[in-house]
Amino acid sequence: MAEKYEPLKFETTKDIKIPKKIIDQVIGQDDAVAVVQKAAKQRRHVLLIGEPGTGKSMLGIALAELLPKENLVDILSFANPNDEQAPLIRTVPGGKGRELVAQAKMENQGFFKGYNLLIMAILVVSFIAPWWAFNHYSAIEGGSRLLGGLMFVAFFLGSMLFFVAVAIFFNVNRRQDAKGRIPKVIVDNFDKKQSQFFDATGSHAGALLGDVLHDPFQSGGLGTPAHERVVAGLIHKAHLGVLFVDEIATLSRYTQQELLTAMQEGKFTITGHSARSAGAMVRTEPVPCNFILIAAGNLETLKHMHPALRSRIRGYGYEIYMKDTIEDTPANRDKIAVFIAQEVAKDKKIPAFSAAAVERIITEARRMANRKGHLTLRFRELGGMIRAAGDFAVEQKAELVLPEHIEKAMGFAKMLEQQIIDRYTESKREYEVIVTTGKRIGRVNGLAVFGTAGMIQPIEAEVTPGGKITEVVATGKLGEIAQESIKNVSAIVKKYFGDDIKNKHDIYVQFLQTYEGIEGDSASIAVATAIISALKQVPIKQDYVMTGSLSVSGEVLPVGGVTAKVEAAIKAGVKKVIVPKANLKDIVIKAEELKKIRIIPVERIQEVLSEVMDWSGKKALLNQIKKAHPM
């Protein structure tokens, strides 16, 4: 039976109770939380796929918190008396490693007490011998004090040289024997109260799998024993804990394969990773590494991830696709309020948020969701806005963060993509690359998204005599999906005007000055409009911008980032924007901003052509298009 929902009652975020357990602080990922709880109980691996900032690393930390606390161990490296290049590995209960090393040092000091006595005896003899020589050679027959003095100097110098040589010999051997007798703690869990969480994102092979350091002094008794040069990798430090690897596909194929071996065996030998290093000659006994792997990434990660590694996770664990939005309900709005309280508590430098400021953040969460009736779960971006607003409140010495602080933060702490687009738009308008007045043939203003910010993208088409090229030629650093969408557009054009272009014309499309590249199919209706305009010499009204995907039958399909695109149109001063009718409910913009623009929802390409093109004197052509696909 579901628990009864009780609305949060608060005046500021100080009144909101923050959960103590990390797993209870994860918001909006209920399915993932349930899986992580099972994974902690049964020690299962987990693959998390989703957008950045949706809580993947937090789930990994939460899993570590849920693991048993009494099983932690220290791992030590010992010298191998039979093979110097194969150090021995032993485990002891957590915290006992340091005690074992201290005990070995104490025993080693007792073992070398005899050396100290011998050195003292040699020192005494070294001081007595010169005086004996002086007295002896001064008193013998034929001797003299001059001879005795010469022998004193000779014996003194000889004794000192002998003493120094013996001291150096004993000291070098003592150091070597001492190092050989004292183990090294390579995984130290002293005073650790819970299973460890290690973030191995971006780690190189040595840091992840362990390494053996190079020894520049390999001879003459000055070298460091092999077991002293062993360095545990993160897979070993995460033994009985959690190893988190974000963007796991960025690991090399070799490293992914070795990680798979470690997961399968639960132990992994440490060796040097540089072929030119003395460490490459050293191979330890297998070192325990029974960790839980939390691998993370986006959908692209699945293409580049080692198939066997993913199979291991799937066969011995779970795969989760993270949510990026949740329904806009009172209960979920309260969760956003709890998140704000958590961020304030974590930061420790910003004041609490008022209830009105919390409501303003919730409004921004709606906008960022880019989906009607939903709230975003991209909390990293939302957290940045919370801290920026808090900084403004601190600067003004305010006791609480208020809505006006959030407004200032949104204007001041813009995302890098938005700053780039603002400058791009300003520059292109100045040089008339972006034109929002008048009419032009073959020229249309499309809309695109750069990061999470919208931008106007001018597109131009030209039809030339020829007919030799069978497909539309498109330029402007187009991605794979964008190129395929152009082919869909060519099907529409051929259906309407196939006889007009067959063996007569070639069609070229240019996305103007797209140095950042274009990906996706949201410019399809813009491309179709530009081509038809160029082919039939029908002008396009430049005070329109548009976005929408296009099927081969002429249906306008929904696209992403509609809110950001409409915001970009408003900032550019455009008065009319065409969007897919299915996206109309996804536009979340302030009412006062919406008054600045007219939004025109469409379902078919004929509606687009009829709205944005000047058909004066060419109504018959428009009717021809409408008859081909009745609306």
pLDDT 10s digits, 158-170: 878 877 777 776 6
Cα–Cα distance between 361 and 363 in angstroms, integer?
5
- Of the residues 126, 485, 522, 549, which is catalytic? 522
The H or E element that residue 541 is part of is: strand 539-541
Closest by alpha carbon to 473, among 444, 506, 496? 506
Q: Mean pLDDT across the chain, nearest whole number? A: 85
**The predicted structure's pLDDT at residue 326:** 94
Last residue in a domain, options 183, 202, 222: 183
Tokens of 444: 């249309």
Domain assignment of residue 168, yes or no: yes
Minimum mean pLDDT range among 47-51, 236-240, 492-496, 530-534: 492-496
Per residue in 22-64, pLDDT tens? 999 999 999 999 999 999 999 999 999 998 889 999 999 999 8
Query: What CATH number has the domain bearing residue 517?
Result: 3.30.230.10
**Residue 565 falls in the annotated catalytic set:** yes
Q: With bands split at pLDDT 50, 70 and 90, how would you rate the model's confidence at 229?
A: very high
- Of the residues 184, 237, 536, 565, which is catalytic? 565
**The predicted structure's pLDDT at residue 6:** 82
Domain assignment of residue 41, yes or no: no
Exposed/middle/buried for 302, CB within 10 Å: 0-12, 13-18, 19+? middle
Domain count, the chain: 4
**The predicted structure's pLDDT at residue 177:** 54
Task: Tell me the one-letter amino acid at 241.
Answer: G
Same domain? 194 vs 305: yes
Same domain? 62 vs 151: no
Same domain? 123 vs 253: no
Same domain? 263 vs 133: no
Closest by alpha carbon to 547, among 614, 612, 615? 612
Last residue in a domain, options 301, 321, 341: 321
Task: Tell me the one-letter amino acid at 180.
Answer: G
Same domain? 66 vs 131: no
Domain assignment of residue 221, yes or no: yes
Residue 573 DSSP SS3: coil
Note down the domain range covering 84: 56-95+188-321
Q: What is the mean pLDDT of residues 343-370?
A: 93
Q: With bands split at pLDDT 50, 70 and 90, how would you rate the model's confidence at 379?
A: very high
Query: What is the distance of C-alpha 233 from the center of its chain?
Result: 20
Concatenated DSSP letters of 101-119: HHHHHHHHHHHTHHHHHHH
Same domain? 598 vs 485: yes
Burial of 339-373, coded b for 16+ CB within 10 Å and e otherwise, reads: bbbbbbeeeeebbbbbeebbebbbebbbbbbbbee
Query: What is the distance of C-alpha 408 from the center of its chain?
Result: 28
Task: Tell me the one-letter amino acid at 266.
Answer: G
Q: Other CB atoms closer than 10 Å to residue 272's CB: what's the count?
A: 24
Same domain? 441 vs 572: yes
Same domain? 524 vs 468: yes
Q: CA angle 27-28-32, nearest 5°? A: 95
